Structure formats: C-alpha cells, structure tokens
Amino acid sequence: MTKADTFVSGAHPYKLSAEIKFIGTDLLVVVSGGDAPHIGSVAVALPRPSLHNRRIMSATSSVYNLPGHKDQVIAQRVSEALASKLDCTVVVTAGFHRDGISREGIKRVVENADKLAQKIHAALKRVKRT
C-alpha cells in the first residue's frame, strides 16, 4: 500500500473509482464515476461511539452539497463507513453523473459506493498509519 491508491467497484455504466491518500492519520477519498466525473459533494466524518451501544464505533458527518448536485449519499455513506471502521477523520469528495439514470441505476451506484468502502476498509485495516 502506497500513500495514494485507487479502488474500483462495479461495472460500466455504474462503476465508481476511488483514489485515497493519507494526510497524516486522516484519510482523503476522491470518489468519481459516470460520464462526467466531478466534485458534487464533500463529506467529513469523525468516528464516535454509537449512540445505541458505546462499545461500537459509529461516525458523525457533515456534508456540503454543491448546487444542483445529488452526490451526498455517496460521500456520506463512504465517509461514515470508513471513519467508524478505521477510527480516523475521513473526507470524501464524490461526483457521479449519468444522463437519464433510472431509479434502479441509482440503487446500483449506491450499492457500488458501499462495496467501494468495504474494499478500501479491507485494504487499509492491514496498513499501519503514521
């Protein structure tokens, strides 16, 4: 694992890619895909004990959505999943665009975002962060 790596989830036209980079012990993740990758939303997630069971880690996030964009679901899900599992601050930028995407297509993109977070976590849980 280097300081910056790329991960992929799904297949065209719903494929998502993520570039990751550690900034100290914090993690920056750039998620993009579709016909016009961009920055549509930014989420910052911080780990914290779960409100239901303090022995389990969860995360709290803040999301900034650029006008006209709906990428917040991707940014928030990926940032919270990684912050709670890696116990670090995670910033995710997300931008996926596909003209005329169906509800089923959106569902597949969200599923790919969840799988992307799982792949990143699986790779990073074995890495010593400095």
Question: Between the CA of residue 51 and those of 43, 55, 58, what are the distances in Å?
Answer: 20, 10, 8
What is the pLDDT, as a whole number, of residue 129? 60
Query: Position 65: which residue type?
Result: N
pTM for the model: 0.91
Provide the pLDDT for residue 126: 75
DSSP bridge pairs for 20: 5, 29
Residue 128 reports pLDDT greater than 80: no
Domain boundaries, the chain: 4-124
| Domain 4-124 listed as CATH 3.30.230.100 | yes
